[in-house]
Structure formats: structure tokens, C-alpha cells
Amino acid sequence: MTNLFDLTGKKAIVTGGTRGLGKSMAEGLMEAGATVVIFGTSDKVHDVAKSFCDKGLDCKGLKVDLAKADQRKAAFEKAVEMLGGLDIIINAAGIQRRYESPNFPMEDWNDVIEVNLTAPFDLSQMAAREFLKKDVPYGKIINIASMLSFFGGQTVPAYAASKGGVAQFTKAMCNELASKGININAIAPGYMDTDMNTALTDPENPRFKTITDRIPAGRWGTGADMKGTAIFLASAASDYLNGAVIPVDGGYLVK
């Protein structure tokens, strides 16, 4: 039987691939057979790529600041050249800033919107153009949304706006690309125990217990929890899935 989830020979970019959810999803794609270029902000990206290669996986690293449009374009073009094409992109890089809304600094608003919304849209456009160049257009765009694509959260208005935008441009691009062999979908992780959330996972923070109590699965998520859905969305198994925003949240949304 054909393995619908096999990614052998597929070429992928994963932004934010040096740690947290992006790193785990990159690993998942490689374990399913893909070659991956991970993007990271520092030279550490090469150490992370090497650590994957040491495990027998096929990984290369590229240093890029995704807040800079010229660097985004150059890194995308370089990655496609390194891979010899492109089949999959996961837009996982993201940042968080916390201030009460009335005093939320505009500089932080702009930083969050640039990295979390503008960069994924820009890279999705570049990926779509690359996929459309193929004799038979084909490709998978996977965006990382959030619970805050669905509700507003507390003290994170820029993040909520950016992740609402990610869900919406995923649907908007889907309407134009689904008939052209390109799948664009998003994963909405729930509350995940990563570096981004150290302010919330501090047991002294009263929100730690409130959030944990609302997760039907009874625990915060991990990078490993993201692998299956990432492989599914990157593979032929999801060829008829378009414009979806899939919660991977231990049931948080439905409680």
C-alpha cells in the first residue's frame, strides 16, 4: 500500500526551525523522508542543522532575520537553490510581546505584525510562485496560527491580530490556490510548553493553573505533539484539505 504520509524526496523550508515547535516539525518532516532547510536568526542554526545530520536526517541551516524583507527574499531564493526546488514550507517563526492594550508600544506592535503576519504572507507568496512554476503545479504551505486566531487573549493584542491575520490569509490564498494543486492550511497550537511561554508556565503565575485546568488532555502541549499534523499537512494524505485551521490543543478550544 502507498504510504500517504511518506515525504521521501520532498524539499522543505521550515522557519523558526532552531527551537520549539518549528524545530520539532522540521524533525518530523525529515523523519518522514524530507530534506529540510531550517531558518534561524543566528549562527546557531548551523549547529542545529548539524545535530539533525548527526542523527542521519537531511538538514541544512540558513541564518536570516525574517523581520527584514530583503533578507526574507534572499533566504528564500538561497534555500530553493540549496534544495534544488521546493515542495513544502512551514511558517513557524514567531514572536510574542506582552503589555496592557492602552499602553502597548507601537514599536512592539510593528515588530510582531512584521514577523508573525507579514513574513509568513510574503513567504507564502514566494512559495506559491515557486510551486506554480512546476510543469504540474504542486506544493504545501503550512502556516502556524494560534488559539489567538479564535479569541483575543490577555495583554497580547498584536499577537492576536497577527494570528487572526494568519488564519484569514490562509483562507484567502486557499480560495485562489486550491484548484491549482497547492494546499495552504494552518495549524493552531494550543498552550505549548516552549520558550515563548515561560511567562505563563511559571507555576507562580496564577494563569498557569487556570490554563492547565481548561485543557481536557490535562497537560500543556510539546513540540512532539505537532509532528503528526505537520507531516499530514505536508503529505499526499492532505491533498483534499484546503484552507483549514486545525487546532492541536488537547481540546482547549472545545471546553
Residues forming contacts to ligand NAD in the complex (CB under 6 A) are 16, 18-22, 39-41, 64-67, 92-95, 115, 144, 146, 189, 191-192, 194-197
d(CA 208, CA 204) in angstroms, rounded, equals 8
Least CB distance from residue 217 to ligand NAD, whole Å? 14
Least CB distance from residue 139 to ligand NAD, whole Å? 20
The three grid cell numbers given for residue 211, joined into one nine-digit string: 490554563
Q: Give 229's contacts (C-beta < 8 A, 6+ positions apart).
A: 187, 246, 248
Least CB distance from residue 135 to ligand NAD, whole Å? 32
Shorter beta-carbon distance to ligand NAD: residue 20 or 28: 20
Shorter beta-carbon distance to ligand NAD: residue 115 or 182: 115
Shorter beta-carbon distance to ligand NAD: residue 196 or 246: 196
Shorter beta-carbon distance to ligand NAD: residue 32 or 93: 93
Please identify the residue of the shown chain whose CB is closest to the bound ligand NAD. Answer: 20
Least CB distance from residue 182 to ligand NAD, whole Å? 21
Least CB distance from residue 41 to ligand NAD, whole Å? 4
> What stretch of H or E contains 106?
helix 106-113
Shorter beta-carbon distance to ligand NAD: residue 131 or 150: 150
Strands (E), 104-181: 139-144
Find the catalytic residue in 99, 138, 159, 191. Answer: 159
Active site residue 159: yes
Q: Give 139's contacts (C-beta < 8 A, 6+ positions apart).
A: 86, 87, 88, 89, 127, 128, 130, 131, 181, 182, 183
Calculate Rg over the CA atoms of the chain: 17
Q: Give 222's contacts (C-beta < 8 A, 6+ positions apart).
A: 24, 192, 193
Alpha carbon of 241 to those of 67, 150, 234, 237: distances in Å?
A: 30, 20, 11, 9
Which residues are part of the catalytic machinery?
A: 159
